[in-house]
Copies of this chain bind each other. A is one copy, B any other.
Amino acid sequence: MSDTNKTWVLRARPVGDIKESDLELVESPMGDLAEGQVRVRTIYLSLDPTNRIWMSDMDAYMPPVGIGDGMRGGSLGTVVESRHPGFEAGDIVNTGLGVWALYQDKPGEELNKLPVLPGVPLTAYMGPLGATGMTAYFGLMDIGKPKAGETVLVSAAAGAVGSMVGQIAKIQGCRAVGIAGSDEKCAWLTEHAGFDAAINYKSEDVGAALDKHCPDGIDINFENVGGDIMDEVIARLSDFSRMPLCGLISTYNDTEPRPGPYNFANLLMRRTLVKGFIVIDYLDRFPEGIQAMAGWLLEGKIKFETDIVEGLEHAPASLDRLFTGKNLGKLVVRVSPEPEM
């Protein structure tokens, strides 16, 4: 085992796009492991839009990462040493909110051993069985409350959350229409993920395409993006529509205040329900969500893709793939090889 750790430390709050000087990869010696702690070697690091929120000092749902602190992020890894009775070397664990580092020392209470599901790869625990899968499941099921025959619209549909939302919507008997940023992604949505239609917002007139693919209006808008596209969607909501408000990724790099939807009044006219949520609000219901998603996964009803970047050193630069629409499916960094199972 290496006796040197590597940690991405936040040096400055990004203004607009993340700059190289905003984070620094710091090497430090590994100390002794404290009683009750578990040392985990990171295998996969989850890159999510919310990482960008945590870097800034905007008024968000949890405090930002402190300047000089290790960058916060979800991860899973292998236990390499344990001073907690619940874990032993070789266990594969979810670290919950971890740190962008090669090694992480965590109290045993904060770790969860991953269940062994035959035929389910480790990356599924970053996707459908991880935080993004739970985000899709609870946002759609608890807030969207889909009914068979309804039309569900998903922005960032080829992303980790969006691709799950559309597939869960289909399982519920809904029509699923996705918005994504390339013909390749749109083809993946309709040909592999079972969406009824997909709109390439970079090459199509989104309003006209929504009129075509959602002729009876949009019953559920699972919002991941915000901005102009959200305006087009809000204009086409149906009466008593629901709008799980999951993310506004188009705005996270903003340096100037941005106007909200010009069609805000339509939320009143259509009697729409909008509900902001963060997946951690549903932490105590994760077992329910994981059971449902694992069942669908094992039945082959859920497809997922993982966009894997090799090497911890590429984490900050790779985060940009989420904001420029380069990733298909769940974006992760492979920090260490998967263990032989």
Q: Residue A253 at the B interface, CB < 8 A?
A: no
Q: Which residue of B lies closest to A260 (CB)?
A: B260
A259, A263, A264 interface centre (most CB from chain B within 10 Å): A264
Q: Which residue of B lies closest to A251 (CB)?
A: B265
CA distance A247 to B269 in the complex (A): 9
How near does chain B come to A49, taking the closest CB pair, in angstroms?
11
0/1 interface trace, chain A 38-64, chain B, CB 8 Å (1 if under):
000000000000000000001111000
CA distance A273 to B277 in the complex (A): 9
Q: Residue A248 at the B interface, CB < 8 A?
A: yes
Establish whether residues A276 and B271, one from each chain, have CB atoms under 8 Å apart when the complex forms.
yes
CA distance A239 to B276 in the complex (A): 10
Establish whether residues B271 and A275, one from each chain, have CB atoms under 8 Å apart when the complex forms.
yes
Of residues 235 through 289 on chain A, the ones whose CB sits less than 8 Å from some CB of chain B are: 239, 245-248, 251, 257-278, 281
Establish whether residues B274 and A248, one from each chain, have CB atoms under 8 Å apart when the complex forms.
no
One complex includes copies of this chain to the number of: 2
How near does chain B come to A281, taking the closest CB pair, in angstroms?
6
Chain B neighbourhood of A70, CB < 8 A: none
Decide: A281 near B271, CB < 8 A? Known: A59-B266, A262-B258, A264-B248: yes
Q: Which 9 A-B pairs have the closest CB atoms?
A: A260-B260, A259-B259, A260-B264, A268-B276, A274-B274, A260-B261, A271-B276, A257-B262, A267-B276
Chain B neighbourhood of A130, CB < 8 A: none
Query: Could you list 21 A-B pairs, sorted by A, with CB under 8 Å?
Result: A58-B269, A59-B266, A59-B269, A61-B270, A61-B271, A226-B265, A245-B267, A248-B264, A248-B265, A257-B262, A259-B259, A259-B262, A260-B264, A268-B277, A268-B278, A271-B275, A271-B278, A273-B273, A273-B275, A273-B276, A274-B275
How near does chain B come to A66, taking the closest CB pair, in angstroms?
19
How near does chain B come to A123, taking the closest CB pair, in angstroms?
27
How near does chain B come to A253, taking the closest CB pair, in angstroms?
12
Decide: A268 near B281, CB < 8 A? Known: A262-B259, A274-B273, A275-B274: no
Decide: A269 near B259, CB < 8 A? Known: A226-B264, A248-B264, A264-B248: no
Establish whether residues B60 and A269, one from each chain, have CB atoms under 8 Å apart when the complex forms.
yes
Chain B neighbourhood of A270, CB < 8 A: 61, 276
- Residue from B60, B61, B260, B281 within 8 A of A263 (CB atoms): B260
- Residue from B257, B261, B268 within 8 A of A245 (CB atoms): B268
Chain B neighbourhood of A261, CB < 8 A: 260, 264
Chain B neighbourhood of A258, CB < 8 A: 262
Chain B neighbourhood of A272, CB < 8 A: 274-276
Establish whether residues A247 and B259, one from each chain, have CB atoms under 8 Å apart when the complex forms.
no
Q: Which residue of B lies closest to A239 (CB)?
A: B61
CA distance A266 to B60 in the complex (A): 8
Q: Which residue of B lies closest to A234 (CB)?
A: B260
Decide: A262 near B265, CB < 8 A? Known: A270-B276, A276-B270: no
Chain B neighbourhood of A247, CB < 8 A: 268
